[in-house]
Amino acid sequence: MQITLITGDITVQRVDAVVNAANSRMRGGGGVDGAIHAAGGPAILADCVARFPDGLPTGQAGWTTAGELPARWVIHVVGPNRHAGQTDRGLLTSCYANALAVADQLEVATLAVPLISAGVYGWPIDDAARAAVETLRRTPSDVVETRLVAFNHAAETALRAALDDV
């Protein structure tokens, strides 16, 4: 799999699927989740309600339509919230591994991925970047290209360092 780094808006990526850093309720929220729901429109929320009536556990992944996004699907993952005591790094890495598993089920060739849990969920950005790169590089997948989409300069710097080191 080719891993590329870009800085920008994940909602404008022309890929088969975008990964959403969702909350466990699967009803939209802030950050990446809010941006994806806003740009994709009400179809994403309607599909979340239909597919995930009880939400989704931390570390797990599921998919919905992408609504008005240029992607075909949204792969939702629930990252660990360090502020709520979820400090097991395995929960974070499972987000990426499970997103790739769902991507393979959907026969996704191109995937856009944000840095999960490094925003309001409080995961240290450098470790979040290393967890992303390590997991994407070590998890077997049929995905051809994964774009790591940095939302700001700090995320870009952390992801670039992880790509160089891991």
Catalytic residues: 33
Phi and psi angles of residue 39, each rounded to the nearest 5 degrees, phi first: -75, -35
d(CA 74, CA 4): 19
d(CA 85, CA 104): 31
E strand spans, the chain: 2-7, 17-22, 61-65, 73-78, 110-113, 145-150
d(CA 115, CA 8): 12
Phi and psi angles of residue 94, each rounded to the nearest 5 degrees, phi first: -65, -25
Each residue of 118-143: b (16+ CB within 10 Å) or e? bbebbbebbebbbbbbbbbeebebeb
